[in-house]
Structure formats: C-alpha cells, structure tokens
Amino acid sequence: MLANVVALRAVALALKGLLVLWVLHLGLALIGIVVLIVWGVALIITAHPVHPVRILGVVKDAAEIYEGHTYVRTELSLGGDGRLFMMDGPAMQPPMSLSHPASGDIVALWVDPDLSWVDMSKTEIYAISVGQEGLAQPAHTNSDLNDPATKADRQRLVGAGVLGLVAVIFGLGSAWDQFSRWISRKRPPPTLPGRRRGIEDWPRSTPMSSDLVSP
C-alpha cells in the first residue's frame, strides 16, 4: 500500500516536471523521462511474489556467460521455445555444475510466466531438474523460490530507485531554472550603443535681438 502511494506521488511530481520540460522545449529529455517514469511505475505495480509454472523441453543450446574470468550466469534455450532462459547454477540449492544442463538434455524448468520488467529479454529459472533427476519435482532451486516475497521487494526497490532518479533530475532542473532566473534579475539591463549626434540633433540657438531688427 505504501509503495503504491509513493508511486502516485512520484507520478504527480513527474507530471509537474514534464510540464516544465515541455515549456523548455527539451524534446529528447522529455522522451527519456517518460520512459523512466513508465518503467519505474511498472516495476512497482507489477511486483509480485514468485509463482512459477513447470515447462518441459529438450535443451537446444546452453552456455556459461563470463565477465572477464568471473562466472555470471548460465543461459539456455529449449527446442520449439523462443525464450532465452537464465540461471545461476552454482547459487542453486543444491549447486549445479557449470557443465549442466548440456545440449540434448531433457529438463523441467520452473519459471514465472509473467513478464519481467527488470530484464525483458530473458526468463529467469527458479528451479530445474535434469532428466535423470526426475522431472516431477524441482531438484535445484534458487533463493527467490525458497522465499517468494524477496523478488517482489527487490523489484519494488528498483522501481522506487528509478522514480527517485526522475525526482532528482526534476529537482536539479527546477533548481537550475530558479538559478537562471535569479542571475537574469541581478544582471544590469543592457545599454544601447550611443550614436554620434548630427547637426539636426543639436538644439537650435535662440536668434539674437540684432537678427530680429529689420534693416
């Protein structure tokens, strides 16, 4: 409930900031801010405890992903399924070796059917069983399946962070706008460049009395 209230307040602040950006004609910035707002709100609203479903298939490709020499995750795909699945094999309970599963293995995967707004390109594996381990029950599970509410809390935290970033951007933009206005008020008005005075600009002299006497 508190997260929803925070999200609504953030949206209200964002709409106010959008008006400022629109006035300043910052089109590209406006598009980026809208994307951040939509993403942050979606993360908070769609956060839910893990409720995985089982899918069966044959591993088509499996690969371990490294950053430098550090293992990051295992990615695999199933025949006839266009999704890309990912898991942290050594972090499973009990841990899995990096060579499993391999291409051609029959596996059972437990995944969340809902769209993940954290990483839309991949589907996280919460539990897995390889053929010889039995496909009816999970043989290896991760911490999110053991504590289903953890993932929802983590996703809400990410969403709040995104909206917080938007609020900081608006705050800095508003502060800069106020500072610019203050500077413009302190700056003396520009002086117009002077021009040389011509003969026609000089005041006419008063005619002398002798000039008024008729000859």
Q: What is the rounded distance in angstroms from the CA atom of residue 144 to the CA atom of residue 125?
A: 10
Neighbour-count burial for 40-49, b at 16+ CB within 10 Å, e otherwise: bbbbbebbee
One digit per residue, the tens of pLDDT, for the chain of length 215 reads 455 555 556 565 666 665 555 555 555 666 777 788 887 887 787 777 777 889 999 999 999 999 888 999 999 999 988 889 999 888 888 988 877 888 999 999 998 876 565 556 788 898 999 988 888 888 998 877 777 677 777 777 888 888 888 888 878 877 777 777 777 777 666 665 555 555 555 555 555 555 545 55
- CATH of segment(s) 53-147: 2.40.50
Contacts of 17 (CB under 8 A, 6+ apart): 33, 166, 169, 170, 173, 174
What are the boundaries of each domain within the chain? 2-47+155-177, 53-147
